[in-house]
Amino acid sequence: MKRINGILNDPDFLNFLHKNQEAEVDRIYCHHDLAHFLDVSRIAYILSLEEKLHIDKEIIYGMGILHDVGRWVEYEDGTDHAIVSKSLAEGILRRYAFSELEIKEILSAIGQHREKGAATVLADILYRADKFSRNCTLCHARETCKNFQHGEVPNLQY
């Protein structure tokens, strides 16, 4: 996981993480922080193992830890954070020796991670892991959360 550890210490990555934190300081709903990024990565990896997909762990963690790095931009100007995160992630991935094919696959997944029934296997795994990662059971903001507007009940999957 040498490349992933590089990303976790990358100045741009840390700056984007800090910007997310600043933008969400008063947010009562789920945050887009390192804990979320790692939860998504770990769940995506579990899904890939369970489904026998044989996807490299660093590809999964690369998309997981970078999928929401641009969330702060959406708060600032409304630009879809999936598109922003895809753009911000590219330079970071290049610095840590991901191949052109790996970069293409990771960026495609990040760009589609908000779409149910996404076109690629990686995007589908990322979409599901992102949803499964939320710990809604004891959340104090659940009554006003968009995910529970119709009386849904939290259901732990991973």
pLDDT digits (tens, 9 = 90+) for 5-15: 999 999 999 99
Structurally, the chain folds into a number of domains equal to 1
Across 13-30, average pLDDT: 95
Residue 139 lies in a domain: yes
pLDDT of the residue at 135 = 86
In a domain, 158, yes or no: no
Q: Nearest CA to 36 among 5, 72, 67, 76?
A: 67
Q: What is the 3-state secondary structure (H, E, C) of 86-105?
A: HHHHHHHHHHCCCCHHHHHH
Phi, psi (deg, nearest 5) at residue 24: -110, 15
**Residue 139: its pLDDT value, please?**
86
CATH number at residue 108: 1.10.3210.10
pLDDT tens sequence across 43-61? 999 999 999 999 999 999 9
Instruction: Give residue 150's pLDDT band: very low, low, confident or very high (50, 70, 90).
Output: confident
Measured distance CA(86)–CA(69) in Å, rounded: 9
Q: Which domain holds residue 68?
A: 2-148
Cβ pair 60, 44 in contact under 8 A? yes
Cα-only R_g, the chain: 15
